[in-house]
Amino acid sequence: MTAPGSDPTIDPEALRRRAEKALRTARDRTHTLTTCVDEPDLTAQHSPLMSPLVWDLAHIGNQEEQWLLRAVGGRDALRPEIDSIYDAFEHPRAERPSLPLLAPAEARGYVHEVRGRVLDILERIELRGAPLVDAGFAFGMIAQHEQQHDETMLITHQLRRGPAALTAPPPPDAGEGAALPAEVLVPGGPFTMGTSAEPWALDNERPAHHRLVPAFHIDTTPVTNGAYERFIADGGYTEQRWWTADGWAYIQEHGLTAPLFWRREGGQWLRRRFGVTEPVPPEEPVVHVSWYEADAYARWAGRRLPTEEEWEKAARHDPESGRSRRYPWGDEDPTPEHANLGQRHLRPAAAGSYPRGASPLGVRQLIGDVWEWTSSDFLPYPGFRAFPYREYSEVFFGPSHKVLRGGSFAVDEVACRGTFRNWDLPVRRQIFSGFRTARDAS
């Protein structure tokens, strides 16, 4: 793996501060998610799809211990006897409540002790000379891992029953969002997909390579609740012709008639959001829909889901320079003016928000708000090499998993960029997933 940490012009102290900030930001969020409810809610399994919150907490610490204390720091193991308990591949989520998990107080003490030792290593280690430490890669990897589990814990909070435990201000108004064109033309031609230069990019984002993408149109914003309601009203869930065979079988078996957490009452659609029941806001991007539902809507609309390369070209390609940016707006890190990230608002912003985050062609909200399903299977790029372990990406490659792009309001900026790839099974609805549609230019 090539990483820019071996570049002698990179300031090692700036790398240390960046890594420390990413680790502390993730831990602050973990603390919020695990202290806002009482112990019974931490140890309960709120859905067989999810782990108890206390499992996620100790798993975060165990991964940090294994990679940063042992692999990077060369320290002796603190708690080797719990490695198998917190091995996500050894124990499916449904069986984790039956394991001898650390109690909440013990888990907190464990992650605190690990973190203290990690920060000591970070102050002393040279961040170059080996792929795992070049540019602080392992520290960035662990910060991303913790933020990904923070998103998972936020999903658990959405699934739990009971009064609201989390609060956040509403996102900013969309401004002129309603007046935007429905779609944008992305010209055909080559572009550079993936990255070989982003220091904390994960293995499935690598290497950079050229793709030739024909011209296509893509929605200016993600599909909204209001648009999705029209799909439902037009018999979207009762017309087999809009669905793949597997999708139709799935919605029939489970009796699906609307996105997860929606219900019809008094002539209107309501939704449950983090313990609060509220009318479904028509201007927000639809969320909690499966790939099957996104694909069916696109067919109903006479369109299709974008491919993964189309999505990334719309998000990163600058037609004037011909180069691929880190983000739609440029190379600078996200700010609250660019995108809805980091659990800042606990909901998607209205379609058309964040004009400063638009791509060069004017596509909005490609980063943040909702994960966007694409039509693509999760596959390796040409020249892919698993690093630092096969279980992060390689074991998931194949037609079983579909790619999602762009992040959501629940994703931190450290785990979200123009090249970042998420993937999940096409049945998944508890995740913060939405979509936008596309069509061929011809």
Binding residue numbers for Fe cation: 59, 145, 149
Structure tokens given for 281? 């806001």
Angle between helices 245-254 and 291-300 (to 10 degrees): 120
* Residues flagged as binding site for gamma-L-glutamyl-L-cysteine: 93-96, 424, 428
Maximum Cα–Cα distance for the chain, whole Å?
Answer: 65
Sign of CA dihedral 317, 321, 326, 331: negative
- In whole angstroms, give the CA distance from residue 158 to residue 160: 6
Answer yes or no: are the C-beta atoms of 138 and 132 closer than 8 Å: yes
Q: Which residues pair with 371 in a beta bridge?
A: 433
Angle between helices 137-159 and 12-35 (to 10 degrees): 20
Please work out, in degrees rounded to the nearest 5, the angle formed at the alpha carbon of residue 225 by the alpha carbons of 362 and 175: 45
Answer yes or no: are the C-beta atoms of 180 and 224 closer than 8 Å: no
Q: Which residues pair with 211 in a beta bridge?
A: 191
What dihedral angle (degrees, nearest 10) is formed by the CA atoms of 101, 103, 108, 111?
Answer: -20
Sign of CA dihedral 220, 225, 227, 232: positive
- In whole angstroms, give the CA distance from residue 303 to residue 295: 9
Burial of 323 (0-12, 13-18, 19+ CB in 10 A): exposed
* Residues flagged as binding site: 59, 93-96, 145, 149, 424, 428
Give 125's Cβ-side CA count (13 Å radius). Answer: 31
Which DSSP string do the residues of 193-234 spell out, in sequence order?
ES-SS-TT--GGG-S-EEEEE--EEEESSPPBHHHHHHHHHT
Q: State which amino acid sits at residue 244.
A: T
Residue pointed to by tokens 């449950």: 272
